[in-house]
Structure 1
Amino acid sequence: MNLKYVKMVCLSFSLVACNSPKEEQKNLEESPIQAQEFSTENKKVTVYTTASDTDFRLTITDQRSFSEGVQPLESEISVFVEPKKTFQTFIGVGGAITDASAEVFAKLDPKKQQELLTSYYDTENGIGYTLLRTSIHSADFGSGSFTYVEEGDKELKTFSINHDKQFRIPMIKRAIEMAGGSLLFYVSPWSPPAFMKSNNNMLQGGKLLPEYYQSWANYYAKFIKAYEKEGMPIWGLTIQNEPMATQTWESCIYTAEEERDFLKNYLGPTLEKEGLGDKNIVVWDHNRDLMTQRANVIYSDPEAAKYAWGMGFHWYETWAGGDPMFDNLAKVNEAYPDKKLLFTEGCNEKFDPAKYQFWPNAERYGNSMINDFNNGTVGWTDWNILLDQTGGPNHVGNFCFAPIHADLNTGELIYTPSYYYIGHFSKFIRPEAKRVSTTVSRSTLISTSFLNTNGKMVTVVMNASDEKVSYNLFVGNQKTVVEIPAHAIQTLVY
């Protein structure tokens, strides 16, 4: 393994030209909020690049100036940004701290633990994550299945989160501290306890039995209160991870009508009764393929819809063949503009250590993030932030990739290209930013833009082709020209 991929992440933000990343980040964080119309006047474009077959990893590679734009030719490739047209408000990018991530983290030496936290949660020397997801008791990523109650305890008298206090909670607290004291933190169950289900098993699907609807709703409330008592404020929750998938791991099936009725009659009212009515409830939490039907059923019922903040989704619909169904996001957003869209999980499946630096894995992230944001998504959450050299631990052998792996045999951290591709968004687009109209004249490139509250515009451009591309960046009636290498992603800050 080339050591350039496992070095301290702060070294990867190297200076090739212009300002240092530290200076640019300071500008991003400290520039005054601009209430007036966005202008390119007297602004430079700082270009950060990550590219295959180069040493560029979130590296400053260029600085450009704007000039008066003239009508581009059809033969040119152009990115058009119109600052006067803004859309959804961004809430952040982040990843999940699972039991697997926490178990691996605990085995690292203190310096590597600090490096990992810095790499993800520091805005200057890392990529500035602001979202966090974790599971309500066990998921597949961890050393085994468990719940917070004894088997058969319908009244939840034995409820305890002591299991999480060994590995998971300490890591979450350190992540929150590294992020500056707060993360937008939400939680998801993979399955109710076995005794509450039709198959008497946390694994292999099954359904929540009607006689346990209230008990299960109470379980969410107890979990949120227990975590908040530990000093970890919970922003929201999803109702069920992947409610249409019968998995070999923890899973539970809800039809659209069943999820609607559980939300309307049990979960929503219970959270309100328990003083947790401010928690944001996210429905669906599954792939883009069936999301429109789920939205139609739940959102068309006013008594259910009033409890739903929005819809979570994953990217795994391609398992059955075909391309990602980004259009479904646009359709849900168009039909229910008052409800939010949140990407809640994605990872590259089928771990193979020979593919740590497999570039298409990173391009999957870039393609999804740009298209998801352009279709109305407000936040984007990766799956495990850390796994070991086997792609685990996973108690059913469902080994996958993470942006960073720890080789526990050597004690080293391995940064995959996916980490840097995610960073092109999370490091520069900050919470409360507004998405700005951005289009591209050729399918060679894809792009999205956000305007931060400090007045800095951020445009992300991705080139998945085999050739370098010279493109015009038009911002209103101003333009500059930028070159992007083959198989590369760039963030332009101006």
Structure 2
Amino acid sequence: MRVVIIPMMVLVVSIVFSQQKKESLPSIFSTENKSVTIFTSADSTSLKLSRTNSNLKFKAFNQPLETDICIFVNPNKQFQTFLGIGGAITDASAEVFAKLSKEKQEEFLNAYFSSDKGIGYSVIRTNMNSCDFSSKSYAYITEGDKDLQSFSIAIDKKYRLPLLKKAMEIIGKRASLYISPWSPPAFMKDNNNVLQGGKLLPEYYQSWANYYVKYINELQKEGITVWGLTIQNEPMAKQRWESCIYTAEEERDFLKNFLGPTLKKAGLGNKKIIIWDHNRDLITQRVTTILDDPEANKYVWGIGFHWYETWTGGLPKFENVGAVKEMYPNKNLLFTEGCNEKFDSKKYQLWANGERYGKSMINDFNNGTVGWTDWNILLDQNGGPNHVQNFCFSPIHADLSKDELIYTPSYYFIGHFSKFIQKGAKRISSLASRSILLTTSFLNPDGKIVTIVINQENKKVKYYLSIGMVATEIEIQPHAIQTLVY
């Protein structure tokens, strides 16, 4: 009997295991009866998120040649889940918005936050206390009030809260709003100044942790749901505007001993806490210091990062983002700020400004990033207001003297991602056979694939969009970005 039973048991186990293995495989995307629709923006043309092709069919394409230029997409190789794309509603953005006519305000809101009429932003960052893109420095308490008895967000109610509410209403359930402080009140810091860096004094750690709770609760009383927070904007930058320095150890200890427990005690333990919120250059040192501490680690949802490491003259350190994801695969990566610096109205339509966005977004997503947040969503014709003259570009500017909105290439480049990739999408494998093309792809919850392609060449390029044993041939303009939906 044993001779019979053992093979039978092996057979049963084998069948069960094979069924479990089969069920665990990701669903296979089929190109059958699918066609490709292409949206294009291209330098020195009128193409701006324009539909340029539709109903392109897949045909048999077995072994590509070395002379073929290909984008290889594999839907069965899936990675991070997409959160969303958006920008920052700062004091500056809100003040400029308030000065527009009602018609232009409506146009602006739809341009950013409507999925149909605009580019479907769903992520919002906003400042707690003032930042450089405020008309003046301010805090929500009177100086010296460590018990926060005077706490009031009345200053936000004039401009920023009305814009936040309008944006959140359009976004609806897709919204992810997070807050970031640039500096604690002056008396809490060792330099007694909200500007020029300085450090949070240890005796005010608890008071400052309580401050986040107060602010989140006040926003939520106003009907603005707070999804998360970063601990400190650019904690290694001494700036002439609002800034505060934390070493990696100081950020770790403030989080695990004060901020994390305080949020949890206040019933806000579900808010997503994001560490670092600074450039890609020092990200690995910061992250390992905090996440290798189990007590700090348990409070961290993810790691925020910016793109300004190039100020030293080097290239963007995209690979550092990938290294963090490799080391801590269960933590989330979120791009929290980037903009084109040094405003010059003559460069409104500088295509390279948009390309900077496209290249960064593709590389950041391919290195594991779940969401991407631009800086100011709106600035005026001077690149402000900014109380320390740190004037910058935004994707949309308002010329208040003419009541006009100016759409820059950055707006269209961001839109090639934000308009088409749905919340909950899975990034899938997408690789180019030539360095002249950059690409990333996502499988949306509705079953469609979105592939973004950038041509870095000064000439047109023909390439094959290849999935398995089929492909379709596509042409992309010089210095163009395409979104392929299929």
What TM-score bracket applies, with the shorter chain setting the length? Answer: over 0.9
Corresponding residue number in structure 2 for 1:59: 50
Q: Give the alignment partner of residue 40 of structure 1, picking from 23, 31, 45.
A: 31
Structure 1 residues 18-42: Cα deviation after superposition (integer angstroms, max 9, x where no partner): xxxxxxxxxxxxxxxxx94211110
TM-score by length of 2: 0.94
Matches of residues 327-476 of structure 1 in structure 2 within 5 Å?
327-476=319-468
Structure 1 residues 196-252: Cα deviation after superposition (integer angstroms, max 9, x where no partner): 001000000000000000000000000000000100010000000000000010000
**SS of alignment partner, residue 138 of structure 1:** coil
Aligned residues with identical type, % of pairs: 65
Corresponding residue number in structure 1 for 2:228: 236
| Consecutive unaligned residues in structure 1, runs of 5 or more | 1-34
Corresponding residue number in structure 2 for 1:192: 184
Structure 1 residues 367-386: Cα deviation after superposition (integer angstroms, max 9, x where no partner): 00000000000000000000
Kept in 1: contact 2:27–2:76 (CA 8 A): no
**SS of alignment partner, residue 54 of structure 1:** coil
Kept in 1: contact 2:174–2:423 (CA 8 A): no
1:131 aligns with 2:123: yes
Distance in 1 between the 2:28 and 2:425 partners?
A: 15
Distance in 2 between the 1:353 and 1:76 partners?
A: 41
Corresponding residue number in structure 1 for 2:98: 106
Corresponding residue number in structure 2 for 1:269: 261
Number of residue pairs aligned between Structure 1 and Structure 2: 460
Kindly tell me: are residues 182 and 83 of structure 1, through their superposed partners in 2, closer, same or farther at Cα, counting changes over 3 Å?
closer
- C-alpha deviation, 1:76, in angstroms: 1.7
Kept in 2: contact 1:403–1:416 (CA 8 A): yes
- C-alpha deviation, 1:465, in angstroms: 1.6
| Consecutive unaligned residues in structure 2, runs of 5 or more | 1-25
Q: Give the alignment partner of residue 215 of structure 2, picking from 223, 234, 241.
A: 223
Q: Highest CA radius of gyration, 1 or 2?
A: 2
Kept in 2: contact 1:50–1:420 (CA 8 A): yes
Structure 1 residues 447-485: Cα deviation after superposition (integer angstroms, max 9, x where no partner): 000000000100000012211110111112210111000
- The residue type equivalent to 1:127 in the other structure is I
Structure 1 residues 343-401: Cα deviation after superposition (integer angstroms, max 9, x where no partner): 00000000000000000000000000000000000000000000000000000000000
**SS of alignment partner, residue 180 of structure 1:** helix
- C-alpha deviation, 1:70, in angstroms: 2.1
Kindly tell me: are residues 391 and 363 of structure 1, through their superposed partners in 2, closer, same or farther at Cα, counting changes over 3 Å?
same
Structure 1 residues 307-336: Cα deviation after superposition (integer angstroms, max 9, x where no partner): 000100000000001110000011000000
TM-score by length of 1: 0.92
Distance in 2 between the 1:182 and 1:362 partners?
A: 25
Corresponding residue number in structure 2 for 1:144: 136
Corresponding residue number in structure 2 for 1:180: 172
- C-alpha deviation, 1:181, in angstroms: 5.5
- C-alpha deviation, 1:180, in angstroms: 3.3
Q: Which aligned runs of 4 or more in structure 1 are off by greater than 4 angstroms?
A: none
- C-alpha deviation, 1:65, in angstroms: 0.7
Corresponding residue number in structure 2 for 1:115: 107
- C-alpha deviation, 1:77, in angstroms: 1.1
Root-mean-square deviation (Å): 0.8
Corresponding residue number in structure 2 for 1:492: 484
- C-alpha deviation, 1:256, in angstroms: 0.3
Kept in 1: contact 2:338–2:374 (CA 8 A): yes
- C-alpha deviation, 1:408, in angstroms: 0.6
**SS of alignment partner, residue 378 of structure 1:** strand
Distance in 2 between the 1:138 and 1:483 partners?
A: 47
Kept in 2: contact 1:83–1:476 (CA 8 A): no
Mean Cα displacement is larger for which, 416-425 or 471-480?
471-480
- The residue type equivalent to 1:230 in the other structure is E
